[in-house]
Amino acid sequence: MRRFAPIPAVTAACATLGVALVAASVPAYPVQAYDRGPLAMAAAAQGASKVPVAEGYGGAVSTVDLDATRAGLGVLRKGGNAVDAAVAAAAALGVTEPFSAGVGGGGYFVYHDARTGKVHTIDGRETAPAAATEELFTDPGTGQPLPFEQARASGLSVGVPGTPATWQRALDEWGTWSLRSALKPAIRVAERGFVVDETFRSQITENSDIFDDFTSTRELFLPGGAPPAAGSVFKSPDLAGTYALLAREGVGALYEGELGADVARTVQSPPVAPDADRVVRPGGMTQADLASYDAPLRAPTRVEYRGLDVYGMAPSSSGGSTVGEALNILETQKLTPKDKAAALHTYLEASALSFADRNRYVGDPDQVDVPLDELLSQGFADERACRIDPDAVLPKPVAPGVPDGSYDGCGDHAPGGRGAPNEGLSTTHLTVSDRWGNVVSYTLTIEATGGSGIVVPDRGFLLNNELTDFNFTPSQGDAPDPNLPGPGKRPRSSMSPTIVLRDGQPFLALGSPGGATIITTVLQTLINRLELGMSLPKAVATPRASSRNTALQAEPAFLASPEGKALAAKGHRFTEAREIGAETALEFGRRGFVQAVAEPIRRGGGSAMVVVPAQGR
């Protein structure tokens, strides 16, 4: 454990930049030392190449990608705030991570406003078109649910994109830059090009069957019939044009203009290659669906966890409610680094219980009555917690509880429900802070890696397949399923952008991709950091396990660890997952100090930078 002592040279640099050095009370969780090893050059070499940990002052950016982190940091350096920088970084991710996020997708934006001390969120989730019904993914010929891949690579799966509306909304509400200015760095990356890395290339390779079946996608991502080589420069002139259009005309170009007309046309009539042999079903999205899109502000979820305030994303995401319920359950339990296996057993069981409740009760709050207050109440969590047996693994799937306000012990449970969610393993998360103490935790996606596989011709971006996050058939037995498709409905998400405050000040910000494992990745990282004595870099890097009630997975290194072996011996039946999540996170110390963290290994490693590096830490 190490307590931070301010470094005079850095303090002087911050003063030059007008960086506010905010005095804070002595932290209950001081920023902890981590094994710097090969990262020792991080501060000096910042910006030259990807490093997963950076420490210093004046604000920070952490994303999966060097160009995106640079884009955000450039905005901070020019005086933009965390919101401006988050939009710039997200737009750059649309260029360099086009298979995870972009104009054709959606996401959730969580923001801590230093001036008011409040946390706000934007729900930028895609919506189903007005023509959608509960049978959206039922084959009319057979009455059976469509195979997932057929549903995915179709116009049916495409929801009205929410990402441009989210950017505009965030800038309008809390930003200081125009969209035009915030898009500039991304336009530059798209025009000049970026160096293809192995992740980019492999994401094309694993999608090449689908990409090759759409003329526009084939042209962009399979030039000359093959994925671009790692190390080559990839330019996106069409996407640069799309961003330039949004910069010139605003997001109305999508929601009410020529770009929207192209999107609707592409969904209704996907550009299927003449030699394609797959069935590609058209979708029903119209320009009227685009015109009625809204990215509303929503009250964040909040739970208190051992004196900290943990803020997350309310429905339509299940992130905040499920992380929050699990934390409430875990708060009733003793977790100690002296017995990591016991702590992880409790984490897995709390997670399974919360997922049962998520699956039964959480859907689009504009169309489903979600008992959010009860799901996040300590009374409900106490009742759920008494299902956990420290000496045995609960038989799965566990049944959902009854969040009805009357909590009287362990006997009162609803009939079981099951349902394997279809979420993919795509998506990206970014975390940004600024010199004023504003913080953004933003997760964005196009659902599967590669989304629907359909690039809008001449526009340079992929359309999402977010609507496959709906359940294709009822999953809750005789009880209603809150996540069936419907007109104008938002599919339930697992995205969990999270901000933790301590004494009203930012302490942690984090999030991850990974479909339903997003929830467990955020939860496990919080437990690693808050309960198991790990520094934030260690908490992020450490091997992961994920219980979602109907699925239990672990990374190979977790399975090989003493805890993994002890948990397997106890009866946890893990299946192996090569990688779970790809997190980015921030931790705030005293006097404006910030530690920016990305993955050292997963997805090829991420990129963390700070405005004023703390030399020599």
**Of the residues 67, 423, 563, 587, which one makes contact with ligand GLU according to CB under 6 A:** 423
Determine the Cα angle at 449 with ends 89 and 88, to 5°: 10
Q: Is 199 left (phi over 0), alpha (psi -120 to 50) or beta?
A: alpha
How is 454-466 classified by DSSP, letter by letter? -BPTTT--BPP-G
Q: Which residues contact 586 (CB under 8 A, 6 or more apart)?
A: 60, 62, 431, 432, 433, 439, 506, 508, 509, 510, 594, 595, 596, 597
Q: Which is nearer to ligand GLU, 485 or 613 (CB)?
A: 485
Question: Which amino acid is residue 31, in one-letter code?
Answer: V
Binding span for ligand GLU by CB under 6 A among 77-85, 510-518, 553-561, 582-590: 510-518
On the CB side of 148, CA atoms within 13 Å amount to 13
Least distance between ligand GLU and beta carbon 147 (Å): 18
- Give 11-16's long-range contacts (Cβ < 8 A, gap of 24+): 11/591, 13/57, 13/612, 14/57, 14/58, 14/435, 14/592, 14/612
Q: Whole-angstrom Cα distance, residue 547 to residue 533?
A: 22
Does 242 participate in catalysis according to the annotation?
no
Nearest residue to 446 (alpha-carbon basis) of 189, 97, 179: 97
Binding span for ligand GLU by CB under 6 A among 269-277, 324-332, 352-360, 425-433: 425-433
- 513 binds ligand GLU per the rule CB under 6 A: yes
**Of the residues 469, 555, 587, 599, which one makes contact with ligand GLU according to CB under 6 A:** 469
**Of the residues 52, 514, 564, 613, which one makes contact with ligand GLU according to CB under 6 A:** 514
Q: How far is CA 253 from CA 103, 130, 243, 264, in A?
A: 12, 20, 10, 13
> Quick check: 348 and 547 in contact, CB under 8 A?
yes
Q: Which residues contact 34 (CB under 8 A, 6 or more apart)?
A: 53, 535, 536, 537, 538
- Tokens read off for 308: 């900290």
> Quick check: 230 and 203 in contact, CB under 8 A?
no
- Report phi then psi at 285, rounded to 5: -70, 135
Q: Which is nearer to ligand GLU, 80 or 497 (CB)?
A: 497
Least distance between ligand GLU and beta carbon 188 (Å): 27
Q: Which is nearer to ligand GLU, 260 or 514 (CB)?
A: 514
Beta strand 575-576 with 552-554 is parallel
Binding span for ligand GLU by CB under 6 A among 422-430, 478-486, 524-532, 607-615: 422-430
Least distance between ligand GLU and beta carbon 476 (Å): 19
**Of the residues 227, 424, 451, 453, which one makes contact with ligand GLU according to CB under 6 A:** 424
- 346 binds ligand GLU per the rule CB under 6 A: no
Q: Which is nearer to ligand GLU, 58 or 515 (CB)?
A: 515
- 528 binds ligand GLU per the rule CB under 6 A: no
Q: Which is nearer to ligand GLU, 216 or 493 (CB)?
A: 493
Number of residues that bind ligand GLU (CB under 6 A): 16
Q: What mask, x for binding ligand GLU by CB under 6 A, covers residues 316 to 335?
A: --------------------
What are the E-state strand segments in 87-162? 106-112, 119-124
Binding span for ligand GLU by CB under 6 A among 205-213, 259-267, 322-330, 487-495: 487-495
Least distance between ligand GLU and beta carbon 464 (Å): 8
> Quick check: 530 and 353 in contact, CB under 8 A?
no
Catalytic residue among 427, 428, 443, 449: 427
Q: Whole-angstrom Cα distance, residue 62 to residue 562?
A: 31
Least distance between ligand GLU and beta carbon 73 (Å): 25
Q: Which is nearer to ligand GLU, 27 or 604 (CB)?
A: 604
- 425 binds ligand GLU per the rule CB under 6 A: yes
**Of the residues 354, 427, 520, 535, which one makes contact with ligand GLU according to CB under 6 A:** 427
- 364 binds ligand GLU per the rule CB under 6 A: no
Q: Which residues contact 606 (CB under 8 A, 6 or more apart)?
A: 50, 52, 62, 63, 64, 65, 69, 582, 584, 598, 599
**Of the residues 216, 433, 493, 561, which one makes contact with ligand GLU according to CB under 6 A:** 493
Q: What mask, x for binding ligand GLU by CB under 6 A, covers residues 435 to 454?
A: ----------x-x-------
Binding span for ligand GLU by CB under 6 A among 31-39, 77-85, 250-258, 488-496: 488-496
Binding span for ligand GLU by CB under 6 A among 183-191, 288-296, 335-343, 493-501: 493-501
- 426 binds ligand GLU per the rule CB under 6 A: yes
Q: What kind and span of H or E run contains 613?
A: strand 607-613
- Tokens read off for 414: 């609803």
- 494 binds ligand GLU per the rule CB under 6 A: yes
Buried residues in 200-217 as b, exposed as e (16+ CB within 10 A) = bbebbeebbebbbbbbbb
> Quick check: 483 and 474 in contact, CB under 8 A?
no
Beta strand 439-445 with 106-112 is antiparallel
Binding span for ligand GLU by CB under 6 A among 343-351, 407-415, 418-426, 455-463: 418-426
Place of tokens 């999508």: 254
Determine the Cα angle at 316 with ends 313 and 317, to 5°: 45
Q: Whole-angstrom Cα distance, residue 343 to residue 351?
A: 12
Least distance between ligand GLU and beta carbon 428 (Å): 8
Q: Which is nearer to ligand GLU, 81 or 321 (CB)?
A: 321
Q: Which is nearer to ligand GLU, 494 or 595 (CB)?
A: 494
Binding span for ligand GLU by CB under 6 A among 269-277, 389-397, 420-428, 590-598: 420-428
Least distance between ligand GLU and beta carbon 324 (Å): 16
Q: Which is nearer to ligand GLU, 96 or 494 (CB)?
A: 494
Least distance between ligand GLU and beta carbon 423 (Å): 4
- 46 binds ligand GLU per the rule CB under 6 A: no
- Tokens read off for 296: 């509303």
- 124 binds ligand GLU per the rule CB under 6 A: no
Helices 237-249 and 258-268 sit at what angle, rounded to 10 degrees? 130
Q: What does the binding site for ligand GLU look like in residue numbers (CB under 6 A)?
A: 423-427, 445, 447, 466, 469, 493-495, 513-515, 518
The residues annotated with a catalytic role in the active site are 427
